[in-house]
Structure formats: structure tokens, C-alpha cells
Chain A
């Protein structure tokens, strides 16, 4: 068998494994109880691994803040000092079966959604979404941010947990699939997915919580409907992408993530190695009072969406997204169409009504990316480059080509004997 045949076979195997995964929401627990490698003085972050000194402003701010939440620092200033002291272990979410939006901070006593594939018993984890405005994941910090995080741990998570366990599991893939038919692309527009989730969980909330708790939880999710489901969509995508890992001769991308300083990818046939480039700037729409000069480079694990064929790859399903990230509705369609050029197949689970229910482009092949100099398109939120401020806009960017070139070189070294 030629190497080209072996690659073709490997790619088919990867797509089949991705198609077979059924990410089910089975539980919520504190990260320290379930996330592999999580310890008392450990913090995981979005993107490829990075040392404290090189971290972006919002990432540093979110870490300093979460150290206050964890009770390891009394003030945000103490949080900065402790984080810089070398006493805290930092690592990439992705290398611990976890993902997180924007700074992606995951700390020991934050509650995380637990998703499981019933067939393989594999898991993926993600914190619960805080909503919009001044929030930790964008590097925002204030007494309100801390109070919200405490409420999420003490009220939101335990209430949802009882309902999730009572439900015996909620199929997140079915929610995402349907949400694409209702105008979401499941990265920056999650409104339909959130309401579909509410539809699934509400009967169980009513069976397991008192009416005041139900009202409080329902109100929070409803107020944050455009973003709440992202933190279910992301671990769902992580579980699917991880199924395609570690297949010899497979040149498909299985992770793409940014830490606000670097963007990195991992490739199925190349193990856990990160290939990185400097993170790009995002072109987009800014909230009043902010400009591109205020922006932090691209940030977050949420590009796990594009890895499995949703988000920027499914923009044709979500013409309404352009009112948030910029551009014209016709561009949403052409952006999806461009991604078929660099992907292995069409996703049977995620279809696009306006393209005659064609499956979304899925399985980015680094060979095609390098050949065409066409890199994955990303739509994303924009954080302020300084800590403490939070989200200032949203927009579009494309991954840089250099890390794909490096990955192809490594692929050649490993497989061309």
C-alpha cells in the first residue's frame, strides 16, 4: 500500500470515529474531582501551553482573579504576585480533556460540565458560561464577577446537576445538530441551542428543585441565551475531535486553540505535539468606545468548533451571525463553501438547510491547507488587551499558515521513510 493510500484510509477512519461519538451531558462536578491532572495549585488555560511571563493581559488578569475565587489570594494584586511566584502550575486545557472559551481558565473549585461518549466512556469537560459583560473568561474582574462565580458554584451548578442526573443524560450532539437548522453556528451564535437545552432540562428542573431555584436558574440561562450553550457545544466538539486522535498516517487537525499570545494546532498522526504561530488579530465589530488598538490577539479554545465542522465552518447556517461578527450574509455562505476545499468530508450530523442540507465541511487536512494556502476561518469574540476590562467586540480571522507548514514538515519526517 502506498503512503497516499494509507493516508486516505487513516482519514476515513478518523471521520468515522468522529461520526460515531455521541457526546452526552451526564453530570456536573468541581474540576478537582474529575478533570485529569487537576490539583489544588493548578490552573488550566486556553490554547497551547505558555509560561506566565508570555501570557496575554486578559489571561493574567483571569488567573489573578481566579486565585482570589480559590481562596489562595485575598486581593487581585496578591493573585498576580502568587501567579508570578512559580508556585502555581499552569497547563493547557486541551492536554487535560478540557476546553474553555476565551482565557479558558479552569481552576480546581470551578464546576464543570461532564460530557461522556457512552460507547468509549471518554470524557470532556468545560466550565459553565458566565454570560456577557464583565466576566472572568475575558479577563474581567470586580466584586460582581466574584459574586457571580460564587453563585454559579453554590446555586447554578448544584441545581443543574440534580436535573441532569435525573434526566439520565442529555444528548448534546442532537441539540447542536438541530440548532444549526435554527440559525446557530454554535460558536458565536448559540441562542437556539440554549433554548433547546432549556427544553430538555426544564422538566427535570421542575422535578428536582424548588420553584425559587428553578426561577433563578431559568432566568440566568435565559438572560445569557446567546452564549450559554457554547460551554456545552465546546466540550461536545472536544469529545468528537479527540476521537480522531492518534491515528497513524492521519494528517487531520484534531485541535486548534489560542492563548492570546500563540495559536496552536495538534494533528492526529503527530501525537500531542503543538505546532504554533503568533496569534492573529481579529477584524470585527467593536462595542461603542473601543477600537482595534484596544484588542488582544485571538484567544480561546472555542476554535474546537471549527475543528469538527461547526462555528466558522457552518456560517452558511447562520446568516444572522454577521450582525455580531461583521460582513454580509452572502459572505457567511461563501466562507462555508471555501472550507470544503481544505476538509476531508461532509459531516452527516451537521447539515446546512440553505446548501440543500449538505453536511458541514469537516476534518481539516493539513496537506490541503498548505497546498492551497487556505487556512481555517474563525469567528470569535474579542477581549481587551488589558486585564480587568473584558469583551470589547467580535469578529473574523483566519489561522496563520506557518504552523500548518511546520506540521506538514513534521509529518514528512515521521512518515516518509
Chain B
């Protein structure tokens, strides 16, 4: 019986890319079925703004 890894190796991956858009572009350029989800750290990771958002949102 084929394991998950056997299936991956024989059928190729399907990618859900989260975050870096360049990874999405690279996978797409190789013909890999890929969807992209836009994500980045809240407030671009700025600690001062994150503190404000914790109080206000």
C-alpha cells in the first residue's frame, strides 16, 4: 500500500504557500499547482504598534 510519502513522490506536491510571495512565484514557475495566502506578522512585527493594538483592538 502506498504511503503518503510514496504518493507525494509519485504524484508531485500541491502547494499552499503562506507568506512570502517569492516562494509562490518559484513554485508556480516550476509548474506546481500552488495557491498563495497573503500573511505577514501583525503590524509588520513592530513591537510598539503591537502593544498599542493589544490595548485598542
Seen from chain A, the residues whose Cβ lies within 8 Å of a Cβ on chain B are 3-4, 7, 251, 367-368, 370-373, 401, 405, 408-409, 411-412, 415-416
**Minimum CB–CB distance for A407 against chain B, Å:** 11
A408 and B40 alpha carbons, distance in the complex (Å): 19
Contacting chain A: which of B4-12, B18-26, B28-36, B46-54? B46-54
A156 and B13 alpha carbons, distance in the complex (Å): 65
> In the bound complex, do residue A7 and residue B40 qualify as a contact, i.e. CB atoms below 8 Å apart?
no
**Minimum CB–CB distance for A55 against chain B, Å:** 32
Which of B43, B44, B46, B56 contacts A7, CB < 8 Å?
B56
Known: A371-B43, A373-B43. Is A409-B56 also a contact (CB below 8 A)?
Answer: no
Known: A408-B52, A409-B52. Is A367-B57 also a contact (CB below 8 A)?
Answer: yes
A7 and B56 alpha carbons, distance in the complex (Å): 8
**Minimum CB–CB distance for B2 against chain A, Å:** 37
> In the bound complex, do residue A367 and residue B42 qualify as a contact, i.e. CB atoms below 8 Å apart?
no
> In the bound complex, do residue B56 and residue A405 qualify as a contact, i.e. CB atoms below 8 Å apart?
no
> In the bound complex, do residue B40 and residue A370 qualify as a contact, i.e. CB atoms below 8 Å apart?
no
A372 and B46 alpha carbons, distance in the complex (Å): 12
Residue of B nearest to A338 (CB): B38
**Minimum CB–CB distance for A364 against chain B, Å:** 14
* Residues of chain A within 8 A of B46, CB atoms compared: 405
Which of B48, B55, B57 contacts A371, CB < 8 Å?
B57
- Sample (26) of A-B pairs whose CB atoms are under 8 Å apart: A3-B55, A3-B56, A4-B57, A7-B56, A251-B56, A367-B53, A367-B56, A367-B57, A370-B53, A371-B43, A371-B53, A371-B57, A372-B42, A373-B43, A373-B44, A401-B44, A405-B46, A405-B49, A408-B53, A408-B56, A409-B49, A411-B56, A412-B52, A412-B55, A412-B56, A416-B56
* Residues of chain A within 8 A of B43, CB atoms compared: 370-371, 373
With A371-B43, A371-B53, A373-B44 known, 14 other A-B pairs at CB within 8 A are A3-B55, A371-B57, A372-B42, A373-B43, A405-B46, A405-B49, A408-B49, A408-B56, A409-B52, A412-B52, A412-B55, A412-B56, A416-B55, A416-B56
* Residues of chain A within 8 A of B53, CB atoms compared: 367, 370-371, 408
* Residues of chain A within 8 A of B52, CB atoms compared: 408-409, 411-412, 416
A415 and B53 alpha carbons, distance in the complex (Å): 13
Residue of A nearest to B52 (CB): A412
Main DSSP-derived SS at the A contact region: helix
Main DSSP-derived SS at the B contact region: helix
> In the bound complex, do residue A4 and residue B56 qualify as a contact, i.e. CB atoms below 8 Å apart?
yes
- Most chain A CB within 10 A, of B42, B43, B46, B48, is at B43
* Residues of chain B within 8 A of A7, CB atoms compared: 56
**Minimum CB–CB distance for B40 against chain A, Å:** 6
Top 8 nearest A-B pairs by Cβ distance?
A412-B52, A367-B57, A371-B42, A373-B44, A370-B43, A371-B53, A367-B56, A416-B55
A408 and B44 alpha carbons, distance in the complex (Å): 14
* Residues of chain A within 8 A of B44, CB atoms compared: 373, 401
Residue of A nearest to B46 (CB): A405
**Minimum CB–CB distance for A8 against chain B, Å:** 10
- Most chain A CB within 10 A, of B40, B44, B49, B56, is at B56
Residue of B nearest to A409 (CB): B52
A368 and B56 alpha carbons, distance in the complex (Å): 10
Residue of A nearest to B41 (CB): A373
* Residues of chain B within 8 A of A372, CB atoms compared: 42
Residue of B nearest to A341 (CB): B38
Known: A3-B55, A4-B57, A416-B55. Is A373-B49 also a contact (CB below 8 A)?
Answer: no
**Minimum CB–CB distance for B51 against chain A, Å:** 9
